Structure 1
């Protein structure tokens, strides 16, 4: 029987039978795996807290057939506070779904694991722009799964002269003024937004979260990443973000009545 100790983050927890839970874990050593937490729903179970969504733990996993079984776990960070903040919960649900749907079983990605853990931590902080942090996650996520957009040169001709740039998701990144005239479906982009994207790709998310960025630049970044992800990443689930937008829209309408 194979026994392995590894750090992991709970991406999904599905009740199985009366007291058991099937976890989808994103781990350091194994990548994404499914694991059975036997009896985890019992109130006095030692696995109860480590079987909650977003939990970051040390797990001892035993291989049984095609699935692992959690035999022991120790909490590193529960991230339980996320469930009390609708913004944080919506964004955290979105990024964990993004990781779950875009990674293969048993394929490790240590940089993405660290990014996910750091982002969940930032969602628990009160002085952080969670929307901006989510866009930072998206851009670095694209980099770590091999879909990094080209932002420091023209994606068509290669020139670094980007004084009046455009962005094209189908071409994979920035376009110079000359090439943009010959390509359709361009997105207008400010040079400052390109510089911000370069900064994000060159620094960890903890440093990026402290940057002071205007709402307009965040809006441009959001527009670009939304289209880029839609074209290059399959099975994107934005249901939690849609619900968050609808709730905020309803709240604004109620205030205006």
Structure 2
């Protein structure tokens, strides 16, 4: 019997029979796995607290034919919603994004797991603006999905943008200068492009203190939603809690 030690985030749960449930955990290195947790719906069972969504857990698993099973486990971190009620909306969106982007057995490298960890800890601790943190994470996720966004040079002439107003072509995922614009692209101020370029390149290990206005944040969110819609199999339902779709 082979035992597997994993660390990961509980993305979601589903009732299975009367007292059991299936949980999906996004794990470092091995990716997303489905776990059948016996008696986890019983509050007195140790697995009850270990299988709550939005939790960071450590498990020793046994691999079965269809599911993994919990041999042992411990809770590393869960979320305190007291005096931090709005965090549930951000975490719902964050975890649903992860669930959509990663399929069972998709490999999750250590570097991106650290990005997920950093985002989770920032959202949970309320240590910086949650909207700003989510915009940074969206850019990191888009890069992970293979979306190579060009914010500096025009797609057609390769010149840096110089005007105060520029354009973005979502087909080519690149900025377009005024001279090359065909007037069908997304019109956007150069200063917003500069903010997004900075957020796209930011080092998650050392996020500086930033101040972005609510109006600018909304523009960046609208921009990211278009790219996410192009690159995801579906958009998260929970995006509506953050003003994503009416």
- TM above 0.5, yes or no, is yes
CA deviations 1:167-198 (Å, max 9, x no partner) are 12222121122222x252x2222222222222
- Cα distance change on mapping 1:115 and 1:46 into 2, 3 Å: same
Show the counterpart of 2:147.
147
Partner of 1:165: 166
Question: Where is the helix percentage greater, Structure 1 or Structure 2?
Answer: 1
> TM-score scaled by structure 1?
0.85
Q: How does 1:41-120 map to 2 (within 5 A)?
A: 41-79=41-79, 81-82=80-81, 85-110=84-109, 111-120=111-120
The aligned counterpart of 1:174 is: 175
Q: Give the unaligned 5+ runs of structure 2.
A: none
Which residue matches 2:215? 216
Name the counterpart of 1:240: 238
CA distance in 2, matches of 1:83, 1:14: 25
Decide whether the 8 Å contact of 1:162 with 1:175 is kept in 2: no
Q: SS state of the match for residue 18, structure 1? A: coil
**CA 1:29–1:173 in structure 2 vs 1: closer, same or farther (change >3 Å)?**
same
5+ residue gaps in structure 1?
250-257
With over 3 angstroms needed to count, the CA separation of the structure-2 counterparts of 1:147 and 1:222, relative to structure 1, is same
Is the CA contact 1:25–1:32 (under 8 Å) kept in the aligned structure 2?
Answer: yes
- Structure-2 separation of matches of 1:48 and 1:2: 24
Closer, same or farther: CA 141–15 of 1 in aligned 2, 3 Å: same
**1:231–1:183 CA distance, 2 compared to 1 (3 A):** farther
Shift of 1:51: 0.2
Change (3 A) 1:158 1:52: same
Q: Secondary structure of the equivalent of 1:178?
A: coil
Looking at structure 1, the residues matched to 34 and 77 of structure 2 have their Cα atoms a distance apart, in angstroms, of: 20
Q: Is the 8 A contact 1:154 1:162 kept in 2?
A: no
Relative to structure 1, is the Cα distance of residues 8 and 201 closer, same or farther in structure 2, using a 3 angstrom cutoff?
A: same
C-alpha spacing 1:143/1:61, structure 2 compared with 1 (3 Å): same
Q: Is the Cα contact below 8 Å between 2:100 and 2:232 reproduced in 1?
A: no
Say how many residue pairs are matched: 243
**For 2:112 and 2:207, how far apart are their aligned partners in 1?**
16
Assess if the C-alpha contact under 8 Å between 2:9 and 2:54 holds in 1: yes
User: What is the TM-score with the length of structure 2 in the denominator?
Assistant: 0.88
- Do the aligned residues in 2 keep the contact of 1:37 with 1:69 (CA within 8 Å)? yes
Matches of 2:219 and 2:207 in 1, distance apart? 17
Q: Distance in 1 between matches of 2:162 and 2:67?
A: 50
